[in-house]
A and B are shown apart, each in its own frame.
Chain A
Amino acid sequence: MNSIRIPTPLRPYTDNLKEVEVDASNVGEALDVLTDRYPNLRPHLFDENGNLRAYVNIFVQQEDVRNLRGQATPLTGNDRLMIVPSIAGGKIIKSGR
């Protein structure tokens, strides 16, 4: 079975589980299985248009799936996926510079 490692800030939505096992053939399917099981997690992974939020990065065996085949990246059945956030922010406006 594939497993997905859940980062700390998202664990309140997965019954505080650090790892969730999913039966899926690719990354997109794994995320669907995960968010079907924990629907309150979905708004934090996907935006209103169903796209992965900009801060969500999915790694399979330590490799960013953007460098593989994105959500179509196949899974072997024994893969470990990691949801790793990138962090951004800033005042952006009214900088005067």
Chain B
Amino acid sequence: MTLHITRDLLLEIWDHGERTYPEENAGLILGTFNGDERRVRKLLPMENKSHSESRHNRYLIYPEDMMAGEQEAERLTLEILGVFHSHPDHPAEPSEFDRQWALPWYSYLITSVDQGKALESRSWRLKDDRTQMIEEVLQVQIDLDTSAKNHKLMTHKEKNR
């Protein structure tokens, strides 16, 4: 089980998580798959529809937004591979609430955002019997356009030291 993502797209998730801090962010991961190998092609950030007083520790995407996401995926001939969301000041590990609400098959990419700075992303899938979330490999791809992106990533990492 591997989720392949470019550094650019991962940075997009980190930037989104930092912008929405201290609230949780969320969005859909679009891409292609071949068996258990998945490649992220596009992200669809979604508005967190949870009540404002609970957005710091939960996220909600309405079914209407999911339908719109599915239509966008269809238009791009991609699939919804899963969901990304942030855990402000909390590890990038699924909570019990994450597990209860998880759908099978989807990849759940969680980013830990500590004091407003994205620290780490890890990806998880629900076990078939729904008892636990299993971590999958998050493979970050080197982009072709190296120098500018490397600089951006280094800058980002340095910011987080």
User: What residues of chain A have their CB less than 8 Å away from a CB belonging to chain B?
Assistant: 7-13, 43-44, 54-55, 57, 59, 64, 82, 84-97
Q: Is the CB of A97 within 8 A of B59?
A: no
- Since A43-B129, A88-B59 are in contact, a sample of 11 more A-B pairs with Cβ atoms closer than 8 Å, ordered by chain A residue number, is A7-B70, A9-B105, A10-B103, A13-B104, A54-B101, A85-B103, A87-B66, A87-B83, A87-B103, A88-B60, A90-B58
Interface segment out of the listed B4-12, B91-99, B139-147, B152-160: B91-99
Name the residue on B nearest A93 (C-beta).
Answer: B95
List chain B residues, Cβ under 8 A from A9. 103-106
Would you call B14 an interface residue if the criterion is a C-beta within 8 Å of the partner chain's C-beta atoms? no
**B67 interfacial by beta-carbon distance below 8 Å:** yes
Give the contacting residue for A44; candidates B61, B62, B104; CB below 8 A.
B104
Number of interface residues of B (CB under 8 A): 38
Contact A95 to B66, CB < 8 A, known contacts A10-B103, A89-B94, A89-B101: no
Q: Which of B59, B63, B90, B94 contacts A85, CB < 8 Å?
A: B63
